[in-house]
Amino acid sequence: MEERQEHKRRPHYSGKYPKKFNEKYKEHDPEKYADTIEKVISKGSTPAGMHIPIMVDEILDVLKIQPGETGLDCTLGYGGHTTKMLEKLDGKGHLYALDVDPIEIVKTKARVADRGFGDDIFTAIRTNFRNIDEVASEHGPFDFLLADLGVSSMQIDDPERGFSYKIDGPLDLRLDPEHGESAAERIMALDADELTGMFIENSDEPYAREIAEKICFYRKKGKALDTTTALRELIEGVIVMQKDIRSLSDKEKKDAVKKSCARVFQALRIDVNSEFEVLYEFLEKLPNVLSENGRAAILTFHSGEDRLVKKAFKALASTGEFETNKDVIRPTPEENFRNPRAHSTKLRWIKKI
Protein backbone atom coordinates (compact mmCIF):
# COMPACT_ATOMS: atom_id res chain seq x y z
CA MET A 1 0.00 0.00 0.00
CA GLU A 2 1.39 3.40 -1.00
CA GLU A 3 2.48 5.48 1.96
CA ARG A 4 0.52 8.68 2.30
CA GLN A 5 2.64 11.84 2.34
CA GLU A 6 1.94 14.34 5.06
CA HIS A 7 0.73 17.69 3.73
CA LYS A 8 3.04 20.54 4.66
CA ARG A 9 1.27 23.81 5.33
CA ARG A 10 2.90 27.03 4.29
CA PRO A 11 4.40 29.20 7.06
CA HIS A 12 1.99 31.57 8.80
CA TYR A 13 2.95 35.19 9.22
CA SER A 14 1.45 38.35 10.66
CA GLY A 15 0.46 41.23 8.40
CA LYS A 16 -0.22 41.34 4.69
CA TYR A 17 3.24 40.24 3.51
CA PRO A 18 5.80 37.79 4.91
CA LYS A 19 8.87 39.40 6.48
CA LYS A 20 10.92 36.56 7.93
CA PHE A 21 13.18 34.41 5.74
CA ASN A 22 11.34 31.14 6.39
CA GLU A 23 7.92 32.70 5.74
CA LYS A 24 8.64 33.75 2.17
CA TYR A 25 7.44 30.48 0.68
CA LYS A 26 6.80 31.92 -2.79
CA GLU A 27 10.31 33.35 -3.07
CA HIS A 28 11.76 29.99 -2.02
CA ASP A 29 9.99 28.30 -4.96
CA PRO A 30 10.98 30.39 -8.03
CA GLU A 31 9.84 27.80 -10.57
CA LYS A 32 6.31 27.70 -9.16
CA TYR A 33 5.88 31.40 -8.42
CA ALA A 34 7.69 33.04 -11.36
CA ASP A 35 5.41 36.11 -11.34
CA THR A 36 6.19 36.81 -7.68
CA ILE A 37 9.92 36.42 -8.30
CA GLU A 38 9.82 38.87 -11.22
CA LYS A 39 7.93 41.42 -9.11
CA VAL A 40 10.55 41.21 -6.37
CA ILE A 41 13.42 41.58 -8.86
CA SER A 42 11.74 44.42 -10.77
CA LYS A 43 11.62 46.41 -7.52
CA GLY A 44 15.38 46.11 -7.13
CA SER A 45 15.33 43.34 -4.51
CA THR A 46 16.70 39.80 -4.41
CA PRO A 47 14.15 37.06 -3.65
CA ALA A 48 14.77 35.25 -0.35
CA GLY A 49 16.96 32.17 -0.68
CA MET A 50 17.78 33.00 -4.29
CA HIS A 51 20.86 34.46 -5.99
CA ILE A 52 20.70 36.56 -9.14
CA PRO A 53 23.80 35.92 -11.30
CA ILE A 54 25.75 39.10 -12.02
CA MET A 55 27.07 40.29 -15.41
CA VAL A 56 26.06 37.09 -17.22
CA ASP A 57 26.23 38.57 -20.73
CA GLU A 58 29.61 40.17 -20.10
CA ILE A 59 31.03 36.92 -18.71
CA LEU A 60 29.77 34.86 -21.65
CA ASP A 61 31.22 37.44 -24.04
CA VAL A 62 34.62 37.14 -22.36
CA LEU A 63 34.69 33.34 -22.03
CA LYS A 64 33.43 32.64 -25.59
CA ILE A 65 32.38 29.10 -24.66
CA GLN A 66 32.21 26.59 -27.52
CA PRO A 67 30.41 23.22 -27.58
CA GLY A 68 32.78 20.38 -26.68
CA GLU A 69 34.97 22.45 -24.35
CA THR A 70 35.81 21.67 -20.71
CA GLY A 71 35.12 24.38 -18.14
CA LEU A 72 35.36 25.09 -14.44
CA ASP A 73 33.00 27.18 -12.33
CA CYS A 74 35.09 27.78 -9.21
CA THR A 75 32.17 29.11 -7.17
CA LEU A 76 28.97 27.20 -7.89
CA GLY A 77 26.66 29.05 -5.49
CA TYR A 78 23.05 29.11 -6.67
CA GLY A 79 24.05 27.85 -10.11
CA GLY A 80 22.98 30.87 -12.14
CA HIS A 81 26.25 31.35 -14.00
CA THR A 82 26.69 27.57 -14.18
CA THR A 83 23.39 27.08 -16.00
CA LYS A 84 24.18 29.77 -18.56
CA MET A 85 27.59 28.25 -19.27
CA LEU A 86 26.06 24.80 -19.62
CA GLU A 87 23.61 26.16 -22.17
CA LYS A 88 26.54 27.42 -24.24
CA LEU A 89 28.05 23.90 -24.31
CA ASP A 90 24.92 22.75 -26.17
CA GLY A 91 25.12 19.21 -24.79
CA LYS A 92 28.78 18.70 -25.73
CA GLY A 93 31.80 18.92 -23.42
CA HIS A 94 31.72 19.15 -19.62
CA LEU A 95 31.48 21.72 -16.86
CA TYR A 96 32.89 21.09 -13.38
CA ALA A 97 31.80 23.28 -10.50
CA LEU A 98 33.25 23.77 -7.02
CA ASP A 99 31.67 24.85 -3.76
CA VAL A 100 32.83 24.54 -0.16
CA ASP A 101 29.33 25.09 1.27
CA PRO A 102 27.88 21.69 2.29
CA ILE A 103 24.36 23.12 2.59
CA GLU A 104 24.01 24.95 -0.72
CA ILE A 105 25.91 22.53 -2.97
CA VAL A 106 23.27 19.83 -2.41
CA LYS A 107 20.44 22.20 -3.31
CA THR A 108 22.23 23.52 -6.39
CA LYS A 109 23.13 20.07 -7.73
CA ALA A 110 19.43 19.20 -7.63
CA ARG A 111 18.47 22.56 -9.17
CA VAL A 112 20.88 22.12 -12.10
CA ALA A 113 19.71 18.53 -12.65
CA ASP A 114 16.07 19.72 -12.72
CA ARG A 115 17.05 22.06 -15.54
CA GLY A 116 18.13 19.09 -17.65
CA PHE A 117 21.88 18.96 -17.08
CA GLY A 118 22.89 15.47 -16.01
CA ASP A 119 26.12 13.78 -14.96
CA ASP A 120 27.19 13.44 -18.59
CA ILE A 121 27.81 17.19 -18.83
CA PHE A 122 27.92 18.53 -15.27
CA THR A 123 29.84 17.55 -12.13
CA ALA A 124 29.71 19.38 -8.78
CA ILE A 125 32.66 18.91 -6.43
CA ARG A 126 32.69 19.95 -2.79
CA THR A 127 36.05 21.64 -2.32
CA ASN A 128 37.53 25.10 -1.89
CA PHE A 129 38.60 26.77 -5.13
CA ARG A 130 42.10 27.16 -3.70
CA ASN A 131 42.40 23.47 -4.70
CA ILE A 132 42.03 24.05 -8.46
CA ASP A 133 45.37 22.33 -9.08
CA GLU A 134 44.03 19.09 -7.58
CA VAL A 135 40.82 19.39 -9.58
CA ALA A 136 42.75 20.12 -12.78
CA SER A 137 45.04 17.15 -12.31
CA GLU A 138 42.00 14.89 -12.58
CA HIS A 139 39.63 16.84 -14.83
CA GLY A 140 41.64 19.58 -16.57
CA PRO A 141 43.11 21.49 -18.18
CA PHE A 142 40.21 23.90 -18.66
CA ASP A 143 39.25 25.85 -21.76
CA PHE A 144 37.23 28.35 -19.73
CA LEU A 145 37.02 29.21 -16.03
CA LEU A 146 34.91 31.52 -13.87
CA ALA A 147 35.40 32.63 -10.27
CA ASP A 148 32.65 34.75 -8.71
CA LEU A 149 34.20 35.95 -5.44
CA GLY A 150 30.98 37.31 -3.95
CA VAL A 151 29.03 35.67 -1.15
CA SER A 152 25.81 34.17 -2.52
CA SER A 153 22.54 35.82 -1.61
CA MET A 154 21.23 32.52 -0.20
CA GLN A 155 23.93 32.71 2.47
CA ILE A 156 23.40 36.42 3.15
CA ASP A 157 19.62 36.09 3.44
CA ASP A 158 19.54 33.01 5.68
CA PRO A 159 19.63 34.24 9.30
CA GLU A 160 21.03 30.90 10.48
CA ARG A 161 24.26 31.59 8.56
CA GLY A 162 24.94 34.88 10.36
CA PHE A 163 26.24 36.79 7.31
CA SER A 164 24.06 39.89 7.63
CA TYR A 165 23.88 42.48 10.39
CA LYS A 166 20.34 43.30 9.24
CA ILE A 167 18.75 40.10 10.56
CA ASP A 168 19.20 38.38 13.90
CA GLY A 169 21.07 35.10 13.92
CA PRO A 170 24.16 33.36 15.26
CA LEU A 171 27.38 35.26 14.54
CA ASP A 172 28.88 32.61 12.29
CA LEU A 173 29.88 33.88 8.81
CA ARG A 174 31.55 30.61 7.74
CA LEU A 175 31.08 29.49 4.14
CA ASP A 176 31.63 25.96 5.45
CA PRO A 177 29.91 25.83 8.86
CA GLU A 178 31.32 22.36 9.49
CA HIS A 179 34.93 23.52 9.76
CA GLY A 180 36.94 26.31 11.35
CA GLU A 181 36.09 28.99 13.89
CA SER A 182 32.91 31.05 13.73
CA ALA A 183 33.06 34.85 13.79
CA ALA A 184 31.85 34.76 17.41
CA GLU A 185 34.78 32.54 18.34
CA ARG A 186 37.25 34.72 16.42
CA ILE A 187 36.33 37.97 18.16
CA MET A 188 36.64 36.20 21.51
CA ALA A 189 40.16 35.00 20.64
CA LEU A 190 41.77 38.20 19.27
CA ASP A 191 43.10 41.13 21.30
CA ALA A 192 42.39 44.79 20.53
CA ASP A 193 45.42 45.26 18.29
CA GLU A 194 44.61 42.15 16.26
CA LEU A 195 40.95 43.14 15.86
CA THR A 196 41.94 46.68 14.85
CA GLY A 197 44.34 45.34 12.24
CA MET A 198 41.69 42.99 10.85
CA PHE A 199 39.06 45.74 10.52
CA ILE A 200 41.52 48.08 8.79
CA GLU A 201 43.19 45.55 6.47
CA ASN A 202 40.00 43.75 5.43
CA SER A 203 37.58 46.66 5.10
CA ASP A 204 39.26 50.03 5.81
CA GLU A 205 36.99 50.64 8.80
CA PRO A 206 37.73 54.21 10.07
CA TYR A 207 36.61 53.42 13.63
CA ALA A 208 38.46 50.12 13.84
CA ARG A 209 40.30 50.91 17.09
CA GLU A 210 37.19 52.16 18.88
CA ILE A 211 35.12 49.11 17.86
CA ALA A 212 37.92 46.70 18.76
CA GLU A 213 38.34 48.22 22.23
CA LYS A 214 34.59 48.08 22.85
CA ILE A 215 34.57 44.38 21.90
CA CYS A 216 37.36 43.71 24.40
CA PHE A 217 35.51 45.76 27.04
CA TYR A 218 32.37 43.64 26.51
CA ARG A 219 34.43 40.48 26.85
CA LYS A 220 35.87 41.61 30.18
CA LYS A 221 32.36 42.34 31.42
CA GLY A 222 31.25 38.86 30.41
CA LYS A 223 28.76 40.14 27.82
CA ALA A 224 27.91 37.74 25.01
CA LEU A 225 28.74 38.68 21.44
CA ASP A 226 27.50 35.55 19.75
CA THR A 227 24.68 36.98 17.63
CA THR A 228 24.54 39.37 14.68
CA THR A 229 22.26 41.68 16.67
CA ALA A 230 24.66 41.87 19.62
CA LEU A 231 27.55 42.90 17.39
CA ARG A 232 25.43 45.35 15.40
CA GLU A 233 24.24 47.06 18.59
CA LEU A 234 27.81 47.27 19.86
CA ILE A 235 28.96 48.92 16.62
CA GLU A 236 26.02 51.32 16.69
CA GLY A 237 26.84 52.32 20.26
CA VAL A 238 30.42 53.10 19.26
CA ILE A 239 29.63 55.04 16.08
CA VAL A 240 26.95 57.37 17.45
CA MET A 241 29.33 58.49 20.23
CA GLN A 242 32.09 59.64 17.88
CA LYS A 243 32.67 63.41 17.81
CA ASP A 244 32.34 63.71 14.04
CA ILE A 245 29.11 61.68 14.08
CA ARG A 246 27.25 63.32 16.98
CA SER A 247 26.61 66.54 15.04
CA LEU A 248 25.07 64.72 12.07
CA SER A 249 21.35 64.37 11.34
CA ASP A 250 19.55 61.19 12.41
CA LYS A 251 19.57 59.91 8.82
CA GLU A 252 23.29 60.56 8.45
CA LYS A 253 23.95 58.78 11.75
CA LYS A 254 21.99 55.76 10.57
CA ASP A 255 23.94 55.71 7.31
CA ALA A 256 27.23 55.90 9.20
CA VAL A 257 26.18 53.00 11.42
CA LYS A 258 25.12 50.90 8.42
CA LYS A 259 28.43 51.48 6.64
CA SER A 260 30.49 50.55 9.69
CA CYS A 261 28.36 47.44 10.29
CA ALA A 262 28.81 46.38 6.68
CA ARG A 263 32.57 46.92 6.88
CA VAL A 264 33.03 45.08 10.18
CA PHE A 265 30.94 42.10 9.05
CA GLN A 266 32.90 42.02 5.78
CA ALA A 267 36.20 42.08 7.67
CA LEU A 268 35.09 39.22 9.91
CA ARG A 269 33.84 37.16 6.96
CA ILE A 270 37.14 37.61 5.14
CA ASP A 271 39.06 36.60 8.25
CA VAL A 272 36.91 33.61 9.20
CA ASN A 273 37.07 32.17 5.68
CA SER A 274 40.73 33.14 5.01
CA GLU A 275 39.51 34.78 1.82
CA PHE A 276 42.68 36.67 0.93
CA GLU A 277 44.86 33.62 1.56
CA VAL A 278 42.54 31.50 -0.59
CA LEU A 279 42.59 34.10 -3.38
CA TYR A 280 46.41 34.35 -3.29
CA GLU A 281 46.68 30.57 -3.66
CA PHE A 282 44.06 30.43 -6.40
CA LEU A 283 45.72 33.18 -8.46
CA GLU A 284 49.10 31.48 -8.12
CA LYS A 285 47.73 28.20 -9.49
CA LEU A 286 45.39 29.65 -12.11
CA PRO A 287 47.84 29.90 -15.07
CA ASN A 288 48.70 26.20 -14.84
CA VAL A 289 45.12 24.91 -15.02
CA LEU A 290 44.22 26.65 -18.27
CA SER A 291 44.57 24.94 -21.63
CA GLU A 292 46.12 26.58 -24.68
CA ASN A 293 43.89 29.58 -25.50
CA GLY A 294 42.15 29.04 -22.14
CA ARG A 295 40.09 31.96 -20.79
CA ALA A 296 39.42 32.92 -17.18
CA ALA A 297 37.05 35.54 -15.76
CA ILE A 298 36.91 36.77 -12.17
CA LEU A 299 34.21 38.86 -10.50
CA THR A 300 35.35 40.89 -7.49
CA PHE A 301 33.22 42.81 -5.00
CA HIS A 302 35.56 44.93 -2.90
CA SER A 303 38.78 46.84 -3.46
CA GLY A 304 41.04 44.45 -1.53
CA GLU A 305 40.36 41.40 -3.68
CA ASP A 306 40.19 43.45 -6.89
CA ARG A 307 43.71 44.82 -6.22
CA LEU A 308 45.01 41.26 -5.89
CA VAL A 309 43.37 40.13 -9.14
CA LYS A 310 44.48 43.23 -11.06
CA LYS A 311 48.08 42.83 -9.87
CA ALA A 312 48.18 39.10 -10.68
CA PHE A 313 46.69 39.55 -14.16
CA LYS A 314 49.03 42.44 -14.94
CA ALA A 315 52.02 40.28 -13.96
CA LEU A 316 50.78 37.44 -16.18
CA ALA A 317 50.27 39.79 -19.13
CA SER A 318 53.81 41.10 -18.73
CA THR A 319 55.18 37.62 -19.50
CA GLY A 320 53.76 37.78 -23.01
CA GLU A 321 51.94 34.49 -22.46
CA PHE A 322 48.59 36.04 -21.48
CA GLU A 323 46.24 38.83 -22.54
CA THR A 324 44.11 40.77 -20.05
CA ASN A 325 41.63 43.65 -20.12
CA LYS A 326 43.15 47.10 -19.60
CA ASP A 327 39.90 48.66 -18.37
CA VAL A 328 37.80 46.95 -15.76
CA ILE A 329 34.29 45.91 -16.85
CA ARG A 330 31.37 47.11 -14.69
CA PRO A 331 27.64 46.24 -14.58
CA THR A 332 25.23 48.35 -16.58
CA PRO A 333 22.96 50.88 -14.80
CA GLU A 334 20.00 48.67 -15.71
CA GLU A 335 21.56 45.67 -13.97
CA ASN A 336 22.43 47.73 -10.91
CA PHE A 337 18.78 48.74 -10.61
CA ARG A 338 17.43 45.21 -10.95
CA ASN A 339 20.11 43.79 -8.69
CA PRO A 340 21.56 46.31 -6.17
CA ARG A 341 24.10 43.70 -5.03
CA ALA A 342 25.84 44.16 -8.39
CA HIS A 343 26.90 47.76 -7.67
CA SER A 344 30.44 47.10 -6.50
CA THR A 345 31.19 44.33 -9.00
CA LYS A 346 34.28 44.41 -11.25
CA LEU A 347 35.04 41.90 -14.00
CA ARG A 348 38.62 41.12 -15.07
CA TRP A 349 39.77 38.41 -17.50
CA ILE A 350 42.87 36.74 -18.86
CA LYS A 351 43.48 34.60 -21.93
CA LYS A 352 46.35 32.20 -22.45
CA ILE A 353 48.06 32.79 -25.80
pLDDT in tens, the chain (353 residues): 444 545 455 555 565 555 555 544 444 545 554 455 455 545 545 554 455 889 999 999 999 999 999 999 999 988 999 999 999 999 999 999 999 888 889 999 999 999 999 999 999 999 999 999 999 999 989 999 999 997 766 667 777 777 788 889 999 999 888 889 999 999 999 999 999 999 999 999 999 999 999 999 999 999 889 999 999 999 999 999 999 999 999 999 999 999 999 999 999 999 999 999 999 999 999 999 999 999 999 999 888 899 999 999 999 999 999 999 989 999 999 998 888 888 889 999 999 99
Cα dihedral 54, 56, 59, 64 in deg (nearest 10): 170
Backbone angles phi, psi at 138, to 5 degrees: -100, -35
Neighbouring C-beta atoms of residue 315, cutoff 10 Å: 13
Question: What residues have CB less than 8 Å from 215, skipping those under 6 apart?
Answer: 187, 192, 195, 225, 234
Backbone angles phi, psi at 123, to 5 degrees: -135, 125
* pLDDT number for residue 19: 52
Distance of CA 307 to the CA centre of its chain: 17
* pLDDT number for residue 326: 87
Query: What's the sign of the alpha-carbon dihedral 171, 175, 179, 180?
Result: negative
Domain limits, the chain = 56-154+276-352, 177-272
Q: Starting from the edge strand earliest in sequence, which strands make up the sheet with 290-300, in order?
A: 122-125, 94-98, 70-73, 142-148, 290-300, 346-352, 322-324
* pLDDT number for residue 250: 92
* pLDDT number for residue 24: 45
Kindly report the CATH class assigned to 56-154+276-352: alpha beta
The span from the CA of 175 to the CA of 102, in Å, is 9
pTM: 0.79
* pLDDT number for residue 302: 86
The span from the CA of 138 to the CA of 270, in Å, is 29
* pLDDT number for residue 50: 55
* pLDDT number for residue 265: 93
Cα distance between the two ends of the chain: 64
